[in-house]
């Protein structure tokens, strides 16, 4: 009975849907997190009677035919890259991106990763780094005698050192943008990697055309909407229940047919 396999594919699809939703909810407070959405596609169809087939010697054709679907499959898990709300932290090295773009991060492997999480800190050498100690690119070093640090909207990093009244520039933050941001590969730790689907990174200065501005003393909150996610979770749960009900019904029908005596 096709209904068993069809409903089973529906349950598997809704299980994936719930897993995506649960990941969104789990990351509600993750800095710079972008929510995801599961998208589905129908499976192949069996043509019992093909539409357009000739139905008589007079040339009449079947107008609609009979096609029976085989169920559903996961098409993709799409990342929604809409802006998260800026949250004021007052952190000395916290930076949020208001608009498009990603910070660049140098991994221990020598590869460049990208992130929206701007909750930076300093390592023992005074370099600006992520929570995991990965250096922000281009490399920016803060002098040990710096008494104040400011980061402009255009990404210019200035410090005032002890005994000085005028700020001096110690570095320039740059952003990377992509044609297809949804094509970036998430590797955890708030980091994304460039792929063939995302296209090559286009690097520029914050505030330029196609790039957002920076907000010093802020971080970007997750763009997860709790109400929308709970609503989606309820819908997925009900869809799962309905597919399980189809399996129960198909099983009962098979049981009835098995009891038929000749």
Map out the domains of the chain as residue ranges.
2-81+224-258, 86-220
Q: Distance between CA atoms of 69 and 156, rounded to whole angstroms?
A: 58
Helices (H), 53-111: none
Q: Are 109 and 240 in contact (CB under 8 A)?
A: no
pLDDT in the model for residue 201: 96
pLDDT band at 256 (very low <50, low <70, confident <90, very high): confident
pTM listed for this prediction = 0.86
pLDDT in the model for residue 56: 79
Cα distances (angstroms) measured from residue 210 to each of 78, 116, 177, 247: 22, 16, 8, 51
Per-residue pLDDT, averaged over 10-26, amounts to: 96
Backbone angles phi, psi at 155, to 5 degrees: 90, 5
For residue range 181-199, what is the model confidence (pLDDT) as tens digits? 999 999 999 999 999 999 9
Cα distances (angstroms) measured from residue 106 to each of 15, 46, 87, 109: 36, 51, 25, 8
Q: Are 125 and 141 in contact (CB under 8 A)?
A: yes
pLDDT band at 140 (very low <50, low <70, confident <90, very high): very high
For residue range 148-157, what is the model confidence (pLDDT) as tens digits? 999 999 999 9
Q: Are 241 and 16 in contact (CB under 8 A)?
A: no
What percent of the chain is modeled with pLDDT above 90? 79
Higher model confidence: residue 52 or residue 197?
Answer: 197
The answer to whether residue 261 scores a pLDDT higher than 80 is no
Nearest to 233 by CA among 74, 12, 10, 14: 14
Backbone angles phi, psi at 4, to 5 degrees: -65, -50
What percent of the chain is modeled with pLDDT above 70? 99
Q: How large is the greatest C-alpha to C-alpha distance in the chain, in angstroms?
A: 103
pLDDT in the model for residue 84: 95
pLDDT in the model for residue 262: 56
């Amino acid at each position: 009975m096709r209904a068993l396999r069809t409903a089973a594919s529906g349950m598997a699809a809704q299980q994936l849907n719930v897993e995506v939703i649960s990941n969104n909810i789990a990351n509600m407070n993750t800095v710079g997190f972008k929510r995801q959405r599961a998208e589905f596609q129908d499976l192949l169809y069996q043509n019992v009677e093909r539409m357009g087939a000739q139905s008589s010697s007079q040339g009449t054709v079947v107008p609609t035919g009979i096609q029976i679907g085989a169920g559903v499959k996961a098409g993709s898990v799409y990342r929604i890259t809409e802006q998260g709300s800026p949250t004021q932290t007052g952190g000395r090295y916290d930076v949020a991106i208001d608009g498009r773009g990603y910070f660049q991060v140098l991994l221990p492997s020598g590869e460049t990763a990208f992130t929206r999480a701007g909750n930076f800190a300093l390592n023992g050498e005074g370099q600006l780094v992520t929570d995991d100690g990965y250096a922000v690119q281009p490399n920016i070093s803060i002098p040990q005698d710096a008494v104040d640090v400011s980061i402009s909207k255009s990404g210019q990093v200035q410090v005032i050192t002890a005994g000085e009244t005028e700020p001096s520039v110690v570095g320039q933050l740059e952003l990377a943008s992509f044609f297809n941001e949804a094509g970036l590969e998430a590797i955890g730790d708030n980091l994304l990697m460039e792929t063939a689907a995302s296209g090559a990174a286009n690097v520029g200065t914050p505030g330029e055309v196609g790039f957002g501005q920076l907000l010093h003393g802020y971080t970007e909150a997750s763009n997860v909407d709790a109400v929308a996610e709970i609503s989606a979770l309820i819908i997925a749960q009900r869809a799962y229940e309905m597919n399980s009900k189809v399996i129960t019904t198909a099983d009962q029908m098979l049981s009835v047919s098995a009891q038929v005596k000749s």
